[in-house]
Amino acid sequence: MAGNPDFDLFRTTDDHEELRQAVRAVAEDKIAPWAAEVDEQSRYPQEAHDALVASDFFAPHVEEQYDGVGADALATCIVIEEVARVDASASLIPAVNKLGSMPVILGGSEELKQAYLPPLARGEAGFSYGLSEREAGSDTVSMRTRAVRDGDDWVLKGTKAWITNAGVSDLYTVLAVTDPDGERGRNISAFVVEKSDPGFSFGEKERKLGIKGSPTRELHFEDCRIPGDRLIGAEGEGLKIAFRTLDHTRVTIGAQAVGIAQGALDQAVAYVKERQQFGKRIADYQGIQFMLADMAMELEAARQMVYVAAAKSERDDADLPFFGAAAKCYASDVAMKITVDAVQLLGGAGYTRDFPLERMMRDAKITQIYEGTNQVQRLVMARNLLKG
């Protein structure tokens, strides 16, 4: 019934919207001016890094007891969304810091949390995630990286691939097989590896279509020795922790996709209101208006899916695996469609680097691929449906 105060629709709080304005101000003032140069030079967005640290948006998800600001899952998504609106590469800084540290948050001992979460919260160390390998992407249980006990230590051997912010981050969650003869999926463990650990090195930067400001490199482990207390959770629980992590962090990729799409729509709307053809603004043509309406409608649907999934992440609801996969899948598909349409609305101008839309279109593509391709997301959703 209209006006019934007991009928509480989902909405963001005043605190969430105040946070949005604060992040948007930082993004537009400190990050946007460098976005084109970062992309052109394929360099790490250090200006964005510094601005995020100064404003406590570097790893906002870390709880206050570990020197963090304790942003909830939705607030963290808003941070990522607003940064992605101007620079997708920069938005990977808070996103990957959450991805890399979630295994410690979900399964780590209190000693591990006390050792690694405070420096992350203070912006003294970034945190990346080492799960994928060249021949073990979607098929994670086929990973070949090994961790072998040697006294009280573990020795890692192998290579991880497609690791976001590799070489920049100081800390890495790494998944490795600890029982080669054990049951597949239950023979993998998770560890924290430090950048300075002997035997740990990086491959060359990948040459990518988009997100060029975020370095993607291999991790190489050549008899990399780490202390035994770096094990996250119990031996053999690594894959379980990894999948729980992805249930939560797929939501943040959905937020990144929403931010990219919003930035593209903003650019397109501004352009069509100024561009004139046949004596009037192209915004006054019905065909253009229909395109804009569809873009805005699909974007808002994606945003609401991401926000609902973020709320479920905060509560750790039982149906989070479905909603996290759905939000990431839908939002990334929408981001790809909206950025392509935005380039179309600008015509030849959209195809040039004079405008940020071609960069946004290139950046949007990766959101359909990483943290599980959208084909894998559909498998996750279907399996959850079939389980009831």
Cα distance between residue 261 and residue 268, in whole Å: 11
Show Cβ contacts of residue 94 under 8 Å, excluding neighbours closer than 6 positions: 52, 57, 58, 59, 60, 61, 76, 79, 80, 83
Collapsing DSSP states into helix, strand and coil, what is residue 154?
A: strand
CA angle centred on 140, ends 251 and 228, rounded to 5°: 95
Length of the chain, in residues: 388
Show Cβ contacts of residue 387 under 8 Å, excluding neighbours closer than 6 positions: none
CB 363, CB 332: distance < 8 Å: no
CB 355, CB 346: distance < 8 Å: yes
Measured CA to CA in angstroms, residue 176 lies from 131, 275, 315 at distances of 8, 55, 29
Nearest one of 259, 316, 298, 299 to 77, comparing CA atoms: 259
Cα distance between residue 87 and residue 49, in whole Å: 12
Cα distance between residue 96 and residue 126, in whole Å: 8
Cα distance between residue 94 and residue 353, in whole Å: 26
Tokens matching residue 345: 């609305």
In which element (H, E) is residue 276 found? strand 276-277
Where do we find the tokens 């942003």?
71
Cα distance between residue 106 and residue 173, in whole Å: 12
Active-site annotation holder among 81, 82, 133, 371? 371
Residue type at 96? Answer: V
Residue type at 378? Answer: R
Is 222 catalytic? The answer is no
- Got the DSSP string for 52-64? HHHTT-SSTTS-G
DSSP 142: G
User: Any idea which residues carry the catalytic annotation?
Assistant: 371
